Amino acid sequence: MTTTFPGTSVTTGHAHPPRRSVRARPEAVLALIAAGVVAVVGMWWANTPSVAGFDDWLTNAGRITGLLAGYAIAVLLALMARVPALERGVGSDRLARWHSMGGRYVVGLAVAHMLLIIWGYALTDRTDVVRETVTLNLTYPDVLKATVALLLLVGVGVVSARKIRPKLRYETWFHLHFYTYLAAWLAFGHQLATGAEFAVAPVARTSWYVLYLGVAALIVWYRFLTPVRLAVRHRLRVSRVVPEAPGVVSVYVTGRRLDRLRAEPGQFFRWRFLTGHLWWSPNPYSLSAPPGASEMRITVKDLGDQSRSLAGLRPGTRVLAEGPYGAFTASGRRARKVLLVAGGVGITPLRALFESVPAASGDLTLLYRARDERDLVFRAELEEIARARGATLRYCVGPRAVIGDPFTPATLAGLVPDLPRHEAYVCGPAEMTRAVTAALRAAGVPKRRIHHESFEF
């Protein structure tokens, strides 16, 4: 069923807009990565006068795949180093998708490198691949460590597979990925010790050091030192925990000079609550209200593991927060009219945008999907915002088997007049997000004006 709560007046969001931050454009990042690929292939070309014979073709194919694997793992680590320009410009959701796709390439290139090199060397030495494998691992410098690195990468790739990943706790999946750092370190020495490109070309060797040490510096600064620096500066603490709906609580966090974080509605932090069983795992939760100078709010649904424990947090608990992250904000908006589509706990960042995104009366619409009326989080708040801003608020409540598909192109076009001229923000379960995005495209909303974020790791 659908309920509409029209408002009567308008407000235009922040009195003091957040300062503009440096944001990397996705196209520029992809172009830079592609340029690196060309440079890596150029390194091989410059150090390969000729290729003769099947064994030489195999060996050189192994060299190319090895160089590309070494470059790609550095790129993957840089994408997830939580560099603010990437997080705000490209967006965490898109970075995660790039990282997932790139991880498959890394594993494939690394395995191909190993098989091609063993086969090519075996033909050159006129021996079988088993003996050549033993010889390479026991007599060539750092090859055994590289083999361990390959096994680690394959293991991380397996646990990240789509059929396996949903079965793991977020905390388990998160900590297993730290083995990628170990794999990169183990493989680095092998690349310099046995790579023909680096043995005879000091410029290439120096460039490889700069690449890896630069990525390592980004990781250390943004993933480890910055959270500590922010904790000292802002002194975050839990002020109160408020139930919002069955299994859903809001956690209010206070601190000093929080406006200096330059957080925007729609963004999220990775939160580490310093209690006996929560301190070791940072979990991503979106801001569910526009941040203030002394208080922020997150809203969390009980999905097990850490999220269930947040309901028992005590006032005064210290907090470490990494962020803000994400490009799911109004900063890149192009259209005057705005459509927000939320599913389940996906309402959290959209609740903050619903209150703050600049829009005239009649130009802002929120569609909120839930299985049951008891699952409508922030109902009173949303209705008050809709009345104050002259916005349209529509609920779609009920099991899918009863109400059917609520997000067909025809349904969306009927609910939202002049739909193609809207900027659309979609957040919710991954399946719903994909369905709404496809329906919006089919209804005529340009791809560049559809922003989406899913609660899928």
Domain end, chosen from 299, 325, 351, is at 325
Six-digit token string for 390? 């002259």
User: What per-residue confidence (pLDDT) applies to 289?
Assistant: 95
User: What per-residue confidence (pLDDT) applies to 1?
Assistant: 35
User: What per-residue confidence (pLDDT) applies to 7?
Assistant: 31
Chain center to CA of 241:
27
Distance CA 440, CA 166 (A): 27
Whether 360 and 435 share a structural domain:
yes
Quote the mean pLDDT of the chain.
87
User: What per-residue confidence (pLDDT) applies to 10?
Assistant: 31
Whether 421 and 443 share a structural domain:
yes
Whether 284 and 251 share a structural domain:
yes
Six-digit token string for 399? 């099991």
Whether 308 and 349 share a structural domain:
no
Residue 21 within any structural domain of the chain: no
Whether 314 and 436 share a structural domain:
no
Residue 230 within any structural domain of the chain: no
Q: What is the CATH number for 267?
A: 2.40.30.10
pLDDT at 212 over 90: yes
Whether 333 and 204 share a structural domain:
no
Q: Which of 285, 293, 284 lies closest to 258, judged by CA?
A: 293
Percent of the chain with pLDDT over 70: 93
Whether 92 and 187 share a structural domain:
yes
Chain center to CA of 118:
36
User: What per-residue confidence (pLDDT) applies to 306?
Assistant: 67
Averaged pLDDT for residues 413-439: 92
Chain center to CA of 401:
32
Query: Which residue range forms the structural domain that includes residue 173?
Result: 26-224
CB neighbours of residue 131 within 10 Å? 11
pLDDT at 454 over 70: no
Domain end, chosen from 182, 197, 224, is at 224
Whether 352 and 313 share a structural domain:
no
Q: How many domains does the chain have?
A: 3
pLDDT at 385 over 60: yes
Distance CA 351, CA 356 (A): 9
User: What per-residue confidence (pLDDT) applies to 304?
Assistant: 63
pLDDT at 456 over 60: no
User: What per-residue confidence (pLDDT) applies to 18?
Assistant: 44
Nearest 5 degrees, angle CA 221-CA 36-CA 69?
A: 80
pLDDT at 81 over 50: yes
Whether 340 and 320 share a structural domain:
no
Q: Comparing 79-93, 208-222, 223-237, 398-412, which segment has the lowest mean pLDDT?
A: 398-412
User: What per-residue confidence (pLDDT) applies to 14?
Assistant: 36
User: What per-residue confidence (pLDDT) applies to 282?
Assistant: 82
Please, which pLDDT band fits residue 311 given cuts at 50, 70 and 90? Answer: confident
Residue 362 within any structural domain of the chain: yes
Percent of the chain with pLDDT over 90: 54
pLDDT single digits (tens) 2-21: 343 333 323 333 333 444 56
User: What per-residue confidence (pLDDT) applies to 97?
Assistant: 86
User: What per-residue confidence (pLDDT) applies to 66?
Assistant: 93
- The CA distances from residue 254 to 115, 277, 279, in Å, are 55, 21, 18
Whether 263 and 404 share a structural domain:
no
Whether 218 and 289 share a structural domain:
no
Residue 285 within any structural domain of the chain: yes
User: What per-residue confidence (pLDDT) applies to 3?
Assistant: 42
User: What per-residue confidence (pLDDT) applies to 21?
Assistant: 63
